[in-house]
Amino acid sequence: MDEILNQLGGLVLGSVPTMIFFILLVITYGLLVRRPLDRILAERRARTTGAVEQARGAIAAAEAETSVYEDKLRQAKAEIFHARDQKLKQWNAERDSAIEEVRRATQQRILAAKQDIEQSATSARAQIEGMSAELSSRILSAVLPAGIRQPEEVAQ
């Protein structure tokens, strides 16, 4: 057993430089590879997280701009509809006033035509009455013999 222990001791003593070399290799790996790699990965993660946050900020800004745009569009539509309604009211008022003016003019023409008709009828009645006396005397003179007196002559 002493021999085994001596062999083990020799192996351990022979492996000490290998262990020291391995420890130095691990430390060197940590300093030369691991730290810069962790730093680069952290920077990349920060950039990615920053880019995601920046994208979220851009999305929020775009949504805000969209909201402002939609509000402006809604206001513009409301103004257009209001202006259209005002124009329609104005046109309807103009149409109504034109119709009323035409109605008044037509009423005046109707009244003037009625007056003309009444004047014509009155003059026609007067003319007919004037001619009826003359016609009746002619008819009587044509129907009655010449020696009988006519009612006009009797009345005088």
Residue 33 lies in a domain: yes
Give the per-residue pLDDT at 13.
84
Rounded to 5°, the CA angle 91-94-97 comes to 150
- Rounded to an integer, what distance in angstroms lies between the CA atom of residue 51 and that of residue 94? 63
Amino acid making up residue 3: E
Number of domains in the chain: 1
Give the per-residue pLDDT at 152.
55
Residue 73 lies in a domain: yes
Residue 2 lies in a domain: no
Give the per-residue pLDDT at 146.
61
- Rounded to an integer, what distance in angstroms lies between the CA atom of residue 65 and that of residue 56? 14
Residue 99 lies in a domain: yes
Residue 138 lies in a domain: no
Residue 10 lies in a domain: no
Which residues span the domain enclosing 108?
21-131
- Rounded to an integer, what distance in angstroms lies between the CA atom of residue 23 and that of residue 5? 25
Give the per-residue pLDDT at 62.
93
Residue 70 lies in a domain: yes
Give the per-residue pLDDT at 56.
92
Give the per-residue pLDDT at 151.
56
pLDDT in tens, 6-30: 888 888 888 889 899 999 999 999 9
Residue 125 lies in a domain: yes
DSSP string covering 76-127: HHHHHHHHHHHHHHHHHHHHHHHHHHHHHHHHHHHHHHHHHHHHHHHHHHHH
**Which residues have CB under 8 Å from 137's CB, separation 6+?**
150, 152
Task: Tokens for 16, please give them.
Answer: 């000490």
Give the per-residue pLDDT at 49.
87
The list of the chain residues with pLDDT below 70 reads: 145-156
- Rounded to an integer, what distance in angstroms lies between the CA atom of residue 139 and that of residue 115? 35
